[in-house]
Amino acid sequence: MSRLRLCHTPADAYPPPPGGAPESGIYGRLSEAVRRHLSPSAASILAEPVASPDGLWIDWYSGLAGQPVPLLSLPAGELRRIRNLLEDRLQALRALADRLNPADPALAQALRQAATYPDETAVYVIDGQPVLTFWGYGILPKHGSARTAASPASSRRARWPWALLAGLFVAGGLGWAATHFSLWRWPPWGPDYAAMLAGERAEAERLRGILVDRQSDLARSLGQCALQARLDMLREEQSRLAAELGASETELANAIEICRAREGLDTLRKESDALNARIGGLQNELAAKLEKCGDGKLSAAVAEAAKLRGKLASLQSKLADKLARCGKKPPLAKTAEATPPPAAPPVPESSPKPVKAAEGLPPCPGERPPEDAPDVAIVLDASGSMRIPSVLDGNAAQLISRFESCMQSSGLLAPVICADLIGAYESITQAGRGPTRLMAAQRAVNNVVGGLPADVDVGMVVLEDCPQASDYGMYDGAHRGQLLQRVNGLIPRKGTPLGNGIVQAANKVDGVRAPAVMVVVSDGKDSCNADPCAIAAAVKAARPKLKINVVDIVGDGAVGCIARATGGDVLTPQSGMSLDQMVRQAAKDAEKPAHCK
């Protein structure tokens, strides 16, 4: 609790009481007793005395708040009210002393003594409450002075010069004392307003410093709030743009697929027409040669016709698929139904002889049991970075590298810190700058899957977003068209769960009894807090016949440890091969052996 100094008085302003001047120790006991038995307001009547080290001065303090005013300076009405209140408080102290006397006679006596004061110049008023200084000093006796006998006029006239000189001397001494001891102030032991003013000024300086600190903290907090609001707005804008970008990419992928289908439409029609004409000619030639040719030539013609008929059916299937994507009906099926080829007479078929593998060479497709055919699992990266064009000049490649490094190291503040790189990145990845990395990878996968033997099963796992890769299933030779259709419909998404993708792809293949190949096509490292190198080593330990070949599109070596952990190959653009060649090289262990026709 803060204290207010009432006045600074000489210690000998009044004669001390018989027991000595009150001090802080007895004040504390009296104040505590009055507070406990009466009230805090009753205890506020006694000011706390604090003597100077030399004992010549006493400072009087009060716990009340306000401006201390001498009692005798109050107006008449207020003066009467304070006198009545003062008398009530003193009477309460005397009554309390009587109550405490049996238990603590010394405290009771000190309380009775404290209920006395010398005169009303020792009384101050703070916020309507009386406060005593010099309490316990007792009531001063009124000193009278006897009148001296009148002296004769002649005697007075004889002494007046000396009396005048004595009066001047006394007046001079009083003036010097008043100037030296600041006695012009009345009462001279009243409040030290200069000290109070200095204290208030010091407090004002302290509060001014606190205010400056608070203003600085407020400005800093307002700046942080503005930055947070800006960051929230940028996050909302980023989410909106990401949604719009995803929709645009889907629409673009669909448009590109339709355009591809339309481009090959005329070629397929021409090939189909030529095959139809050739089949018709062969069938007519076959009918004419039935009468002339033997069984050997007839069997060769029948086999050629069957081969051409199978090729025609395949072309018609592809054409129907592309027409369906373009939103048209396949006219070739109607033509085949309207003009059926002429029926050929039945010909006895010769049983085909199985082709045996050469001595010491692996069996060819068709010779080996289905369970001995190798399995292939393709892990295809479809993360957001795969929307970057597959061919970049030096400046664009350097900017892409700076952008990816900034986004990875900036965390939540990446939209703000990397703002100058985002626009340049979007201008590079926008449509019209050539095929993207994903488009090139889709084309390479199409070419490789289409050339695999019919008895090889192919599984597909796609890296689209964290925390898990997407399982696109396992396809035998008869259903590869469905696999390629799903591959061609991919669009770049977000994260790269490479470690999880390796786990899912390994679960699709054998790798224990029969050999298996995993082809990883990616442009970066795992972005989902996994360790693909350790995962690849664990997979190799569980499936010793599994080999993982990595096609590193960027060639920065970030995913090379996956191949090295399984004895596989790492294929990068530095090898001089195209992406098609690299993917085909990665899947070479599952292709038809060179000695097989």
Q: Provide DSSP, 35-89.
A: HHHT-HHHHTTBPEEEE-TTSSEEEEEES--S--EEGGGS-HHHHHHHHHHHHHH
- Alpha carbon distance 87, 147 (integer Å): 36
CB 393 within 8 A of CB 475: no
370-389+434-590: CATH architecture: 3-Layer(aba) Sandwich (3.40)
Name the amino acid, one letter, at 537: A
CB 15 within 8 A of CB 140: yes
Structure tokens at 596: 């097989």
Instruction: Using the predicted structure, report yes or no on whether residue 154 has a pLDDT greater than 70.
Output: no
- Alpha carbon distance 256, 259 (integer Å): 5
Average pLDDT, the chain: 78
Give strand pairing partners of 474.
459
- The larger pLDDT score, comparing residue 294 to residue 446, is at 446
Give strand pairing partners of 132.
46, 123
Burial group, residue 42, by CB count within 10 angstroms (0-12, 13-18, 19+): middle
Instruction: Residue 470: name the closest of 494, 441, 438 by CA.
Output: 494
DSSP state of 436: B
pLDDT digits (tens, 9 = 90+) for 63-110: 998 899 999 999 999 999 999 999 999 999 999 999 999 999 999 999
Rounded to a whole number of angstroms, the distance between the first and last alpha carbons of the chain is 105
Structure tokens at 195: 């000290």
Does the bond joining 593 to the residue before it have cis omega, within 30 degrees of 0?
Answer: no
Q: Detail the DSSP E strand segments found in 346-492.
A: 375-381, 458-463, 470-475
pLDDT digits (tens, 9 = 90+) for 178-225: 555 555 555 555 556 677 788 788 889 889 889 998 988 898 889 888
Instruction: Using the predicted structure, report yes or no on whether residue 13 has a pLDDT greater than 80.
Output: yes
Burial 253-289 (b: 16+ CB within 10 A, else e): beeebeeebeeeeeebeebbeebbeebeebbeebeee
pLDDT digits (tens, 9 = 90+) for 489-533: 999 887 899 999 999 999 999 889 888 999 999 987 888 989 999
Average pLDDT over residues 351-379: 69
Does the predicted model carry a pTM greater than 0.85? no
Structure tokens at 62: 């009060």
Give strand pairing partners of 157.
none
Per-residue 3-state assignment (H helix, E strand, C coil) for 79-123: HHHHHHHHHHHHHHHHHHHHHHCCCCHHHHHHHHHHCCCCCHHHE
pLDDT digits (tens, 9 = 90+) for 395-407: 666 666 677 777 6
